[in-house]
Structure 1
Amino acid sequence: SNINFFKVEDLRTVRSGVVYHFKVIHARLSYQLFRCPHCGFPSLIKNGTTLTKLRLTTLNGPMILLYLRKQRYFCKSCQTTYGAKTPIVEKNHSLTRGLKSAVFKLAKQSLPVTTIAKIVGISASSVERILYHDFQRPQRLAKLPEHLCFDEFKSVAKLYSFIALNAKSHNLISILDDRLSKNICAYFENRYSLNERLKVKSVVIDLNANYQIFIKRLFPNAQIVIDRFHIIQLVNRAFDQLRVTTLKQLNDKHSR
């Protein structure tokens, strides 16, 4: 309510030979302050403005910038300066809350970071910072689930990481930087007691033989369950291999 808009411009810029079109909204943020937020005395005076360039929400359209001139205040009593604030953006940030909200909505649809960046018109690194700003890996859970899922995934370049999930809720239990058996065993043994690990009833895995070795060590009472997807995949590969072998044994290559 304290932002006054002046004009809207259509501009363009050239980066690496590519022409980008964007809109610029010129506005001013100012309101009356009577007391200093620091000392509380009624000794504030206006002290010019500062220009901030904010990114507004856009979906597959031209980039929209808000050139917002924020009012500055000076306290003659405590000699401190103070800037006008607005709820559309956090302090010292250039990406507005609406744009960050759009990133979260697209991420809920399981879109890749690069795709989200192209849709909203920001860099992939900015999308990652928004999504993982307050993310912390859980050190341990208050209660270890009775049913677990173990698997690995390609995380960086050709390196694989280990991931453990709750088999029923699919909530994250842990992500380890590698899939070495000694590190996986050390993680669970250092964080969960034997009594806690004895309560685990099942662990769902793929056909990785290494997992079967240390699962019995970590969870003595757990039943090892092979994921049905890998069973079907194994059967399909066997049929395909038999088909190719049979095809090579045929003498008449032109017969249907």
Structure 2
Amino acid sequence: MKSNQTIIRKIHMEQLHFITKLLDIKDPNIQILDIINKDTHKEIIAKLDYDAPSCPECGNQLKKYDFQKPSKIPYLETTGMPTRILLRKRRFKCYHCSKMMVAETSIVKKNHQIPRIINQKIAQKLIEKISMTDIAQQLSISTSTAIRKLNDFHFKHDFSCLPEIMSWDEYAFTKGKMSFIAQDFNNLNIITVLEGRTQAIIRNHFLRYDRVVRCRVKIITMDMFSPYYDLARQLRFQISRLRLKQSPRLFHSRMLKSFLIAFTLCNILAVL
């Protein structure tokens, strides 16, 4: 007759198996060991382990060595709480050539930390009217992660048209480096993403449009970032309206301000 402890252990393992299915973790080599409920999030303790493969260097059989420190993998929310997987990956060692190898899984790319299911969710939200900051907050990732996913898309530029109202903005692509994005003000369709926000980069891009196409643009909205403002003046944009907005982030120690400038273009890029 099985002891109560054995029965409890079996029930616990069955529950963890159901949780694996609920999270849509299809890799059979991932075993969920426990779930820890924190005040702010949930942590899923898991390990990745399988039989040792052959050495990719010398072809000899690898041996199981130890486990890596847990990789902190963000995951989709569960029961309304941010969730992350603490995944310990098996390491293998070749005692013939000293090659070390780490177990791989289908839920996340090699040498990456963001799982495929999160990347799919980012791509899903990018086509919605949601800001990068909101996407990052909803998925418990950094804003730069959402932006990198955006840059994975290859924009097929259509140099035959531009919208009547266009928005210019910038975002932090990497630490200390800002990039430029232009989009249709009305439908939020992205026109271009440029790896830089200097006058030369922006100017050279819009020079690729025919003058007739550029002249279709009537209004450009942008923050009062000096290179944009200087470029607008250099291109003789006619400022029709200047509006100052107060940021709603009242919890900051100082009030943040953003400027919205609407430029009415009599003849966009008239000096070119």
- Report 1:198-209 matches (<5 A): 200=213, 203-206=216-219, 209=238
1:4 equivalent in alignment to 2:31? yes
Partner of 1:73: 92
Kindly state the Cα deviation for residue 82 of structure 1 after the two structures are TM-superposed. Answer: 0.1
Give me the whole-angstrom Cα distance separating, in 2, the residues matched to 1:162 and 1:57.
Answer: 28
Q: 2:210 aligns with which of 197, 205, 215?
A: 197
Q: Measured at CA, do residues 168 and 43 of structure 1 come closer, stay the same or move farther in structure 2, by a change above 3 Å?
A: closer
Deviations 1:70-129 (A, max 9, x none): 111111222110000001112333332212322332232211233223322x25xx1332
One-letter code of the match for 1:209?
Q
CA contact (8 A) 2:151 2:193 kept: no
SS in 2 for 1:117: helix
Q: 1:42 aligns with which of 45, 57, 60?
A: 60
Kindly state the Cα deviation for residue 55 of structure 1 after the two structures are TM-superposed. Answer: 1.8
Partner of 1:58: 77
Give me the whole-angstrom Cα distance separating, in 1, the residues matched to 2:62 and 2:201.
Answer: 60
Partner of 1:232: none
Deviations 1:154-189 (A, max 9, x none): 647xxxx89476x999551576837x7xx6995268
SS in 1 for 2:106: coil
Identity of aligned residues (%): 19
Give me the whole-angstrom Cα distance separating, in 1, the residues matched to 2:113 and 2:46.
Answer: 15
CA contact (8 A) 1:25 1:66 kept: yes
Q: Measured at CA, do residues 214 and 130 of structure 1 come closer, stay the same or move farther in structure 2, by a change above 3 Å?
A: closer
Give me the whole-angstrom Cα distance separating, in 1, the residues matched to 2:202 and 2:81.
Answer: 51
Give me the whole-angstrom Cα distance separating, in 1, the residues matched to 2:123 and 2:144.
Answer: 11
Q: 2:108 aligns with which of 89, 101, 124?
A: 89
Give me the whole-angstrom Cα distance separating, in 1, the residues matched to 2:106 and 2:187.
Answer: 39
TM-score scaled by structure 2? 0.55
CA contact (8 A) 2:123 2:150 kept: no
Q: Measured at CA, do residues 173 and 145 of structure 1 come closer, stay the same or move farther in structure 2, by a change above 3 Å?
A: farther
Kindly state the Cα deviation for residue 29 of structure 1 after the two structures are TM-superposed. Answer: 1.0
Aligned length: 194
TM-score scaled by structure 1? 0.58
Q: Measured at CA, do residues 105 and 213 of structure 1 come closer, stay the same or move farther in structure 2, by a change above 3 Å?
A: closer
Kindly state the Cα deviation for residue 31 of structure 1 after the two structures are TM-superposed. Answer: 1.2
Give me the whole-angstrom Cα distance separating, in 2, the residues matched to 1:137 and 1:217.
Answer: 33
Partner of 2:144: 128
Can you give the 5+ residue segments of structure 2 that lack an aligned partner in the other structure? 1-27, 172-179, 221-236, 240-264
- Across the aligned residues of Structure 1 and Structure 2, the Cα RMSD in angstroms comes to 4.1
Deviations 1:162-220 (A, max 9, x none): 9476x999551576837x7xx6995268x54xxx73664951313953732454554xx
CA contact (8 A) 2:64 2:91 kept: yes
Q: Measured at CA, do residues 151 and 184 of structure 1 come closer, stay the same or move farther in structure 2, by a change above 3 Å?
A: farther
Partner of 1:144: 159
Kindly state the Cα deviation for residue 57 of structure 1 after the two structures are TM-superposed. Answer: 1.0
Q: Measured at CA, do residues 34 and 153 of structure 1 come closer, stay the same or move farther in structure 2, by a change above 3 Å?
A: closer
Kindly state the Cα deviation for residue 36 of structure 1 after the two structures are TM-superposed. Answer: 0.6
CA contact (8 A) 2:122 2:149 kept: no
One-letter code of the match for 2:160?
P
One-letter code of the match for 1:129?
T
Give me the whole-angstrom Cα distance separating, in 2, the residues matched to 1:137 and 1:96.
Answer: 18
